[in-house]
Amino acid sequence: MQSAPPKATLRIQIRISLSSLAMFLLKAWRSTAFGVYGYLNFTKSGFLEHSKNFNPEDMARRIDGKNCVVTGANSGIGYATAHGLASRGATVYMVCRNKERGEDAVSKIQSSTSNRNVHLEVCDLSSVHDIKSFTSRFKEKDIPVHVLVNNAGLLENTRVITSEGNELNFAVNVLGTYCMTELMLPLLEKSQPDARVITVASGGMYTAPLTTDLQFNSGEFSGLEQYARNKRVQVALTEKWAEKYGDKGIGFYAMHPGWAETPGVAKSLAGFSKSLEGKLRTSEEGADTVIWLALQPKEKLVSGGFYFDRAEASKHLPFAATKSSHDAIDSIVDTLNSFL
Ligand SMILES: NC(=O)c1ccc[n+]([C@@H]2O[C@H](COP(=O)([O-])OP(=O)(O)OC[C@H]3O[C@@H](n4cnc5c(N)ncnc54)[C@H](OP(=O)(O)O)[C@@H]3O)[C@@H](O)[C@H]2O)c1
């Protein structure tokens, strides 16, 4: 009698610790929830839906004579913001890193708004040295700054190190925003109680908790994740500033513009931009809440808040376990202060 051939057995052992499985599932949940929530709310159709609740009178206010500083003002949401503020009579200082692109943007805004009080300031926000020299130059004007819009930002997909030794996304999105705000405080104080700092963050932060690994030194670098982490820092910093400088008459607001079709998105998120062709917001729609925050009476606004489509929005997605991470902000502020 012939015996049956031995059965080939294929045994694959997957060793995965419970904590990495939990982290994997948590990250998957954050991304899925963000994607679904974003698709329903951050696109153009979300803007059109939310705009049914907008009060047109909110945007009819003028701010003649108020001094507004807008970073990254030559393109996309920053350009639309500078244009919107200039068309309502503000004196606008457009902070751009490139002189030619800046001059071109200034002259377009001057001619389309007939407001001559639109000026170019050249500064590379990825350099603390440049920010220090810009702010000390600017302080010589000795003018009150009513509105500072921290808009300059980028999503660099590869790991790029600046000449000052910092990871580029962090350098512009976090360190640039931090230094600019801290160094402009004396001029903001001059316009109290009306002063406000508006930081253009992103809904991308919903996918990331606050982390002290500011330069993404641990793990494999991901530009998208670093961008989300940077935007989370901006939102937590806004809370911290509101708490720290509440008695100085300065309001601090972070906001999400939604998903807008801008040169930055086309360059850094080409696939995303193509897959949502025709569904993205315009730069003007992206800038709408920035301008709204600049125009509203401060009593109507919550300092330290995160805004989206002219309303305060949650800083956390449900079950995303990002809330407690904000406790790390003091240690992050200490690190950022070491650059000043
Ligand atoms: N568009 C969206 O869907 C979206 C969504 C969420 C959040 N945001 C945020 O919105 C803000 C504006 O982005 P955008 O979409 O309008 O992109 P954008 O068209 O690329 O505009 C970004 C602006 O920032 C400037 N900038 C970049 N690096 C700089 C540096 N080192 N120094 C000074 N300026 C610098 C750019 O100048 P150059 O022209 O010289 O590069 C440009 O003026 C960013 O903070 C972004 O994170 C955008």
Q: Evaluate: CB of 154 within 6 angstroms of ligand 1.
A: yes
Residue 23 has pLDDT above 70, yes or no: yes
Residue 5 has pLDDT above 60, yes or no: no
Average pLDDT, the chain: 95
Per-residue pLDDT tens for 207-259?
999 999 999 999 999 999 999 999 999 999 999 999 999 899 999 999 999 99
Give kind and range of the element (H or E) at residue 256.
strand 250-256
128 pLDDT band (50/70/90 cuts)?
Answer: very high
User: 25 C-alpha vs ligand 1 centroid, how far in Å?
Assistant: 31
Interhelix angle 76-86/99-113, rounded to 10 degrees, is 40
300 vs 60: CA distance, rounded Å: 16
Question: What single string gives the DSSP state of each residue in 165-227?
Answer: S-BHHIIIIIIIHHHHHHHHHHHHHTTTTSEEEEEE--GGGGG----S-TT--SSS--HHHHH
Residue closest via CA to ligand 1's atom 23 equals 72
pLDDT at 14: 63
pLDDT at position 16 over 60 = yes
User: Which range has the worst mean pLDDT, 11-25, 123-137, 230-244, 287-301?
Assistant: 11-25
What is the atom index within ligand 1 of the atom nearest the CA of 281? 3
**Ligand 1: which of 97, 148, 279 to mutate, judged by most atoms within 8 Å of the beta carbon?**
97
Q: What per-residue confidence (pLDDT) applies to 1?
A: 44
Q: What percentage of the chain reaches a pLDDT higher than 70?
A: 95
pLDDT bracket for residue 12 (50, 70, 90): low
91-96 sheet: strands from edge to edge: 118-122, 91-96, 67-71, 147-150, 195-200, 250-256, 306-308, 311-312
97 lines ligand 1 (CB under 6 A): yes
Residue nearest atom 18 of ligand 1, based on CA coordinates: 264
Q: Which domains does the chain have, with CATH numbers?
A: 23-337 (3.40.50.720)
pLDDT higher than threshold 90 for residue 3: no
What is the whole-number distance in angstroms between the Cα of residue 181 and the centre of ligand 1?
A: 17
Residue 146 tokens, joined: 């009513």
Distance 243 CA to ligand 1 centre (A): 27
pLDDT digits (tens, 9 = 90+) for 173-214: 999 999 999 999 999 999 999 999 999 999 999 999 999 999
Residue type, 39: Y
Q: Do 298 and 248 touch, CB atoms closer than 8 A?
A: no
**Which atom from ligand 1 is nearest to the alpha carbon of 124?**
32
- The residue length of the chain stands at 340
Strand pairing of 306-308 and 311-312?
antiparallel
Closest CA to 120 of 162, 169, 79: 79
For the Cβ of 251 lying below 6 angstroms from any atom of ligand 1, the answer is no
Q: Are 159 and 208 in contact (CB under 8 A)?
A: no
Nearest atom within ligand 1 for CA of residue 264:
20
Q: Token pair 């580029």 is at which residue?
A: 168
pLDDT of residue 18: 84
Check residue 17 and give its pLDDT: 82
Nearest atom, ligand 1, residue 258 CA = 5
Q: Letter for the amino acid at 317?
A: L
Task: For Cα atoms 78, 84, 89, give the angle at the middle one, nearest 5 degrees.
Answer: 125
Ligand 1 atom nearest the C-alpha of 73 is: 43
Query: Binning pLDDT at 50, 70 and 90, where does residue 20 land?
Result: confident
Helical segments of the chain, H only: 18-41, 44-50, 76-86, 99-113, 128-139, 168-169, 177-189, 223-244, 263-268, 270-275, 283-295, 329-337
For range 60-70, the mean pLDDT: 97
275: pLDDT strictly greater than 80 = yes
- What predicted TM-score, i.e. pTM, was given to this entire model? 0.94
Query: CB of 74 closer than 6 A to ligand 1?
Result: yes
**How far is the centre of ligand 1, averaged over its atoms, from the C-alpha of 55 (Å)?**
28
What is the residue with the minimal CA distance to atom 7 of ligand 1? 202
What was the pLDDT predicted at 246? Answer: 87
- Active centre residues (catalytic): 227
pLDDT of 2 above 60: no
Strand-pair partners of 285? none
What confidence tier does 9 reach under pLDDT thresholds 50, 70, 90? Answer: low
SS (H, E, C) 156-171: CCCCCECCCCCEHHHH
Q: Peptide bond before 193: cis, by omega within 30 degrees of 0?
A: yes
Residue 150 CA, ligand 1 centroid: distance in Å: 10
- pLDDT, tens only, 83-120: 999 999 999 999 999 999 999 999 999 999 999 999 99
Is the pLDDT at 4 greater than 80? The verdict is: no
